[in-house]
Structure 1
Amino acid sequence: MTEENTPKDHAKNGRSEESPVTTRRGVRSFVLRQGRMTEGQRKAYERNWPKFGLTREHGMIDPRQVFGRDAMLNLEIGFGMGRSLADMAEAAPEQDFIGVEVHLPGVGALLKEIADRGLENIRIYSIDANDVIDLCLADACLDRVMVFFPDPWHKKRHHKRRLVQQEFVQRLRHKLRVGGILHLATDWENYAEHMMEVMADSEGFANTQIEGGFSPKPEGRPVTKFEQRGERLGHGVWDLLFYRTN
């Protein structure tokens, strides 16, 4: 959703003024960006959202009912244009995936990927991830949470707006089963250091690597176009994998 959309646009996109993208104050999980759906994204949204979309109004979901089976459950917060999430779901059909993204062109793009590839193991929320965590997911229901390349808020005065903070991490912890993985990735070294500090001080988490160590890129994380562009510019990428201990 964009700030310039009219109520008519909201209705066209399956939202109304009474169904805001977020109900929370404080640090949001997203930044609203400008942009409108392409015709292909809009058609994919209209055609596929009723089957693959989830809303706040669904309340606390039972993943077994949503997906029709009991399988490893992954949550990706901020999937962008959705290609990497579609890649992961296609590569692991035995697992289920929930993606969260408020940028409607990205939602439309992922819905198109889902249809084109015939994927059945993805569901989508297009609301603030904080609301998904607090209102829609039961404790200990997730096997893995992924937060890839969140906004780094690179200016020091904006660091308080960064998504990865103690309070947010602890709320994620309760949604992970014991042994479940929190996977963070960034291409900003300062944010990587910030993430490591937060995770090292987070109760109930332990690093999968040596203390203070970043992880080699896991095979299961696709390389995004965003990441490829960063590598061409000489940017590094840092992965952090921590598991819930209690």
Structure 2
Amino acid sequence: MTDQSQAPEHEQPEHRRTIKSFVMRAGRMTEGQQRGLDQGWPLFGLELADGLRDFDQVFGRQAPRTLEIGFGMGHSTLEMAAAAPEQDFIGIEVHRPGVGALLNGLLSQNLTNVRVYSCDALEVLRDCIADASLDRVLLFFPDPWHKSRHHKRRIVQPAFAELVRQKLKVGGVLHMATDWHAYAEHMLEVMRAAPGYTNLAGAEDFVPRPEERPITKFERRGERLGHGVWDLKFQRTD
């Protein structure tokens, strides 16, 4: 028998699953990472549910502001924040051990110019960041999703480029880096087609490795093995 209480198929509500650019992985916490979450989150953690934020109020000052998507274990974030105390950094990472590691580092180094989200970066950009408020957006070594059937999961897509453009100030910069040449070419293709940007590489495709981007242990290992790294910098023009 057919359940007569069920609406016809064409009247059923449509449930669309958002394609994520990441996969949640469980990880074992070290004592330091747990300390970071327990003691650091109340000081530096931000919640998606709080919606649009006034970051001058959050940081207690006006300052150049950088948002980093997917900071991993936070090593680069800590290095950049320590090297530029006059700047503010907003880091986003979904994996809790990495969040704990960054928070523990902030406590250990007495850094106060970093705030942290632990959720989907696209949701943070959409719901929490005011338009034309960021000086930089950083995307270092995102998952390349190298299999063709997974390319739809790559975070760098036309919609991402437009969302970032909205959040950058005019003159602000999207800086991306990857060690997968095919993904670098994909990034370049997307950004070339994105309106409102100019490639800071000029006549070249990629910029030389910028001094302000810290070199990670992973990257040093890759260099020893002969792996390349490609940096892209695109500036919002309007």
Q: Comparing 204-213 with 53-62, which one deviates more in the overlay?
A: 204-213
Superposed, 1:149-160 pairs within 5 Å as 149-160=141-152
Q: CA deviation at 1:213?
A: 1.6
- 2:211 maps to which of 194, 219, 222: 219
Q: 2:230 matched to which residue of 1?
A: 238
- 2:84 maps to which of 84, 92, 95: 92
Asked if structure 2 preserves the Cα contact closer than 8 Å seen for 1:89 and 1:121, the reply is yes
- 1:200 maps to which of 178, 187, 192: 192
Asked if structure 1 preserves the Cα contact closer than 8 Å seen for 2:21 and 2:143, the reply is no
- 2:160 maps to which of 168, 171, 174: 168
Percent identity at matched positions? 61
Q: Distance in 1 between matches of 2:17 and 2:232?
A: 27
Q: 2:52 matched to which residue of 1?
A: 60
Structure 1 gaps, min length 5: 1-23
Q: For each residue in 1:97-146, what CA deviation from the matched residue of structure 2 results, as whole angstroms up to 9, or x when unmatched?
A: 00000100000000111011110100000010011011100101100000
- 2:137 maps to which of 138, 145, 148: 145
Give me the CA root mean square deviation: 1.2
Q: For each residue in 1:171-192, what CA deviation from the matched residue of structure 2 results, as whole angstroms up to 9, or x when unmatched?
A: 1110000000000000000000
Q: Distance in 2 between matches of 1:198 and 1:27?
A: 18
Largest Rg, 1 or 2 = 2
SS of the aligned residue for 1:64 comes to helix
Q: CA deviation at 1:27?
A: 3.0
Q: CA deviation at 1:34?
A: 2.8
Asked if structure 1 preserves the Cα contact closer than 8 Å seen for 2:174 and 2:233, the reply is yes
Q: CA deviation at 1:38?
A: 1.0
TM-score, structure 2 as length reference? 0.91
Deviation above 6 Å: which 4+ runs of structure 1?
A: none
Q: 2:75 matched to which residue of 1?
A: 83
Q: Distance in 1 between matches of 2:164 and 2:17?
A: 18
TM-score, structure 1 as length reference? 0.88
Asked if structure 2 preserves the Cα contact closer than 8 Å seen for 1:166 and 1:198, the reply is yes
Structure 2 gaps, min length 5: 1-15
